[in-house]
Amino acid sequence: MKWISTQYSIRDLLHFDKTRILELRPDFQRRSVWTPSAKIMLIDSILRNIPMPKIYVHIKENLKRKELKSIIDGQQRIRAILEFRANQFCLSEPYKGDYFNFKYNDFVEKKLENNILDYRIDVNEVYTDSEKIVREIYSRVNKYTVALNTQELRRADFPGDFLHVSEQLSTVDFFDDAKLFSTSDRRRMRDVEFVSELLAALIKGPQDKKESLDSFYLSLSKWKKEDKDNVILRFKSAITDIGEIFPLNKDVILNSIVLKLFKKTRFRQKADFYSLLIAIDELKRKGYSIENKILDLLREDFGILDYHITPESDVELFSKYAIQCTSQANTIASRSWRKNFLKDILAGTYIAKYPDDNTIKNYHYILWDLYSAGCDMCPIAATTCVVCNEDFDDYSEKNARLVWPEDSATFQLSNAYFIHKKCFDKKGYHEYLSLESIEEDSG
């Protein structure tokens, strides 16, 4: 085995490619996974004559005893250079220099191509017939190198207002109290990435995880101050409400329902937290709030959700929610469904008006499943009809009506009651509200 340190110009690389002596992807190499932004910024580095890391090349002979240059490490950089030479992309965002939107042919037309062709790359060439040695070199070069993740690359590629706001909001005290981010998350900027996802959802509703984030970083690199300040205010306001609803210092026990510290609940998981924050924001944007309201019943409901939501739950809707958090958890469809589910729970206190028909049906099925299965940690009200004092053996809508006391200030699972339909239908019975009675009064 022999090593030679040398340099290749980009002119050399183009010649190697044209004469077919350049082998870009040996079978042990990773696939090309660079983003368009990464390719653009590599060309920017070349134009600014910023050195790039060394390339490792295996010099070998093919069957015709022709020398080949097989890339051990550096194929993604070389591939990006060749693609630019072939006019397959232009210098669009995040490039900021004098050659914005240039393709390679534009450099040729303006006789500027030497700015690219003369750039030189440091190279280590290895001469060996042993594939084992080549694979070991590849392993050694890559094994102890921590590759930049997508968000770390964004920090380099997309400076600007959206990045600055995401970094700023990722440091709010609540996140430390809630243990939402691990030390590793903080170190690898996954906290900033998650806050970016939350901001994107506040701006345009639930998004597919990470797929559209680059577009927000690009379009909001210069963010109108009024719009930026509004989104920051909404973000902090929703965080404040979560801190009001959930205990941050000790568990709370309410009518035998335990609501744990936020950092112990499932809602500190990113999939749950995403949907919770967006649900709260949507309610607040419509003018609803929890200010000056008693939150105990809402807290009981979240204690029930936290205790019972698992894929194996006896409550069909709780099981569906849990599955939506794990299977395709970050698609628009899953995020939107979870957000709407939590918004129905929150609305009982935020809106504090009698629920709509769809919400009542969801409440009905949740309570029906809870009591039919004899689950622990349930609301206290519903095993016996409060009119005739007889037990329920059938919670179906044909036999039971879900109602709330007439003086209810909030409408949660935890203060809902089942009444036999035959009991509720008795003329003159007005102590409890149902959808039917509301509709009659409004008529």
DSSP letter string over 146-186?
A: ----HHHHHHHH--SHHHHHHHHHTT-HHHHHHT-S-HHHH
Mean pLDDT of 201-214: 86
| 10, 13, 39, 104 from 81: Cα distances, Å | 8, 9, 8, 10
User: Please, are residues 58 and 4 in contact by the beta-carbon 8 Å criterion?
Assistant: no
Phi and psi at residue 229, in whole multiples of 5°?
A: -65, -35
Q: Where in the chain is the domain with CATH 3.90.1530.10?
A: 2-145
> How, if at all, do strands 2-9 and 120-127 pair?
antiparallel
- Classify residue 392 by its DSSP letter: P
Pick the more confident residue, 143 or 112.
112
Are the C-beta atoms of residues 104 and 85 closer than 8 Å to each other?
Answer: yes
- HSE-CB at 353 with a 13 A cutoff on CA atoms is 6
Question: Average of pLDDT values for 251-261?
Answer: 80
Q: Locate 177 and state its tokens.
A: 């109290």
Residue 442: the pLDDT is: 47
Give every CB contact of residue 186 below 8 A, 6+ residues apart in sequence: none
- Please report which confidence band the pLDDT of residue 216 belongs to, taking 50, 70 and 90 as the band edges: very high
How much is the pTM? 0.73
Q: Classify domain 2-145 at the CATH topology level.
A: 3.90.1530
Cβ proximity of 269 and 325 under 8 Å: yes
Output the pLDDT for position 319: 96
Tokens of 239: 């965080």
pLDDT in the model for residue 443: 45
When pLDDT is cut at 50, 70 and 90, the band that residue 32 belongs to is: low
What is the pLDDT at residue 145? 66
The pair of three-digit structure tokens given for residue 384, joined into one six-digit string = 């016996």
pLDDT attached to residue 353: 92
Which tokens belong to 372?
A: 């039919």
Structure-token pair, residue 81? 């250079």
Q: Mean of the pLDDT values across residues 37-46? A: 92
What is the identity of the amino acid at 273? F
CB-based contact 283:346 (threshold 8 Å): yes
Closest C-alpha to 200, from 179, 184, 186, 214: 214
If we measure between CA atoms, which residue out of 221, 213, 233 comes closest to residue 161? 221
